[in-house]
Structure 1
Amino acid sequence: MGKSNSAENAKLQYESGQTLVPMAALTDSGDHKIFTAALSPWSGKNTFAPIVRPDGVVTGGAVVPTSGQNNKVDAAALTCYLIGVLTSVSAAAGTTLTRPATNVAKVSSITVNSAGVIAVVAGTDGATQEFSETRGAAGGPPFVPVGSIEVAQVRLITSAAAVVTAAEIFTVAGQHQERYDYPVWDESNVNGAVTFSAALSLAHTGSVAKKVYAQYYTPIFADVSLASDFAPPENSYSVSSTQIYGTTLGKTAASLGQGKFTAFLSDGVTDPLVGLKGEILWFKFFPDRYKTPYMLAQGKLGISRAFPVADNIKADCTISAAEVGKEVAA
């Protein structure tokens, strides 16, 4: 173990501005749950927070049999997020389906294509009337082109022309339909990532998931010129116990504490840092300004100012964070 050093040469920075990164596709990390951006961290300041828009249906899009017409369905008008843009799609009445060549299973997907138009993607005829749930398999749902959105599936088992029935149309979110809000997700500003509650379906050509887009801002940092006594938001742990016959049951609980620092101010009124009180900001702390390692912490800035007669004007600042600070070694 090396010697312990002081933070005499430390440097503290705060988020003083933001740089826009326009809506762009995130990258699937490989587990089809976590999608990451090219840049991080993301700002959380009011009006600069990230906007996440997975491809998928937002409103409308009901698919029903076309009354009195064989092998056709009507798709209602809908809105969807497509390439990160809220897109209005016109209704498509009397959309024609291809039945199987013989009395076997065939699945057709009703989709919105990359041009924002309703389109049918036909699956491969099965060997029997039993449907497969494997994408691209005979008798299973077809792969949907990358950049398209699946709205519904129509499952037929007869070759003779007939009116489609409501029981042959399927629209379960996550299985037969891609919605923008399913599955739900969490955003990690520190990692510049979106984590879905479940893996996205690999429903698109090449066994890939639907596209996920995000617009975000990255922070621009400025020095807190005169600062001291920085402490990051960190977890503390407590222990509680219950005595039972012959022994004791124990458990631990974590509690996230506030970060803090002291800032020495010019007049305590016009200082740029003071103007950001109550905002969610990033803070970047270098234990040694001449070395690479630093810590990142994001939280709501609170300040308590003091205007002493015979001492410096200062503010005791707090960082009320939603997660612990992150160490960056390189």
Structure 2
Amino acid sequence: MPSAENAILEYEAGQNAVSMAALTDTGDHKTFLSSDELWSDKAGYEAQVRPNGLETGGAVTPAASGSDDVVDVAALTCYLAGVNTNVAADTDKSITRGSTHNFTRHSVTVTSAGAIAVIDGTEGESFSDTRGAAGGPPWIPTGSIEIAQIHISDKTPAPIAADEIKQVPGIHREMYSYPTWVENRIAVENSVIGYAGVTFNAALPLIHSDDAGSTKAAKKVCASYATPEFAEIPNAYDFVRPATSYTVNSTQVYGGTVGSASRSLGGGSFSFSCRDGITDSLFAEEGSNLWFKFRPHRLKTPAIFCQGILGIKESFPAGDAISAECTISAEQEGKRVIS
């Protein structure tokens, strides 16, 4: 019978910081990946995800000057390529109405350089929701963010009215925090480890293009994070993977029983023989959220990865070795990885 005699258990003993960088769209415009397999979640090393978008301020209003075809933009903060950027208020930002047709849509944007700019759409005989179409909103450069649209239905110059300015998040305004996302600090499919990243709760709209729509893109998504460095836990034994357990509940009814199943996530655990139960290096990580890597054979690739808060309870018997029982309080099951 096989045993784990040659197994090895490692823990996240250090971190390597990765500077803010763009994540890669997988093609569904929801999941964006880094170039690393694991992201740390230890306090002080958590990932910082920064999609392009407005953070605060940036209200677009009819121009206080009362002049034709201009709007004012309030001061704002936004994220551009992962950098929190302050943009000063701007006034009398002008649009260009149609010369032949009445219907035009115009986008108020923040450029990649952090300046307010208005992009005019193509005039049309009616409004369109299609980017780049006649009467539709214009394409937004890939490094810019859209903060409002102006919908014009008359080519005659006039002051812009409040109801012509549209600022609904997700439709006319790109917010950095919308849609929301979850971090995938590990990604395993069919026992093959992939790259860590984020998944948004909705696909990001393809409103960005630098070539009039021939190539479309979602807004840029950037992140900084840390990758774990592993070190062996000496004299470890009895590793248990965090895993889901299933329970059957039943209710007796007339003529029989009705059953239902429930599931719960159980924590992981392991033990190790201590040096003295006080100065062992792992004790310094008690209460930290760490990665653990277990291999049933230290010279082979198959492994289990799990991430959770480390709990330690040491024991000092008079007639036996000092040891510690450790728990791994995880948010998800340990992942089995073959390659």
Does the alignment reach a TM-score above 0.5?
A: yes
2:247 is matched with 238
Give the corresponding residue for 2:53.
56
Equivalent residue for 1:71? Answer: 69
Contact 2:101 2:123 (8 Å CA) reproduced: no
Give 1:310's aligned residue: 319
- The one-letter amino acid of 1:25's match is A
Matching residue's letter, 1:252: A
Coordinate RMSD, CA, aligned? 1.3
1:200 aligns to what? 204
In the TM superposition, what are the counterparts of 1:290-301 in structure 2 within 5 Å? 290-301=299-310
Give aligned pairs, total.
325
TM-score by length of 2: 0.93
Could you say which residue in structure 2 is the equivalent of 1:278? 287
Who is 1:146 aligned against? Answer: 142
Return the match for 1:93 from 91, 94, 99.
91
Q: Quick one: distance in 2 between partners of 1:257 and 1:53?
A: 32
Could you tell me which residue of structure 2 aligns to residue 250 of structure 1? Answer: 259
Q: Which residue of 2 aligns with 1:107?
A: 105
Moved more, 245-254 or 212-221: 245-254
Query: 1 CA distance for matches of 2:38 and 2:198?
Result: 12
Q: Deviations over 1:169-192 (max 9, x none)?
A: 000000000000111111121232
- The answer to whether structure 1 residue 164 and structure 2 residue 173 are counterparts is no
4+ residue runs of structure 1 moved beyond 6 angstroms? none
More divergent stretch after superposition (167-176 vs 25-34):
25-34
SS of the residue corresponding to residue 167 of structure 1 reads helix
TM-score by length of 1: 0.96
1:173 to 169, 172, 195: 169
CA distance in 2, matches of 1:82, 1:313: 54
- The structure-2 alpha-carbon separation of the partners of 1:207 and 1:241, relative to structure 1 and needing over 3 Å to count, comes to farther
Deviations 1:164-220 (A, max 9, x none): 000100000000000001111111212322111111111100221001111100000
| Structure 2: gaps spanning 5 or more residues | 188-195, 210-214
Output one character per residue of 1:2-53: Cα deviation in whole Å (capped at 9) or x when no partner: xx51111100000000000100111111111111111021101111111111
| In 2, Cα distance between equivalents of 1:313 and 1:45 | 28
Deviations 1:70-101 (A, max 9, x none): 00000111000111011001111000101011
Q: Are 2:178 and 1:182 aligned? A: yes
Are the equivalent residues in 2 in contact too, given 1:100–1:157 (CA < 8 A)? Answer: no
Counterpart-to-counterpart distance in 1, 2:315 and 2:271: 11
**Percent of paired sites with the same residue:** 51
Find 1:28's aligned residue among 25, 29, 40. 25
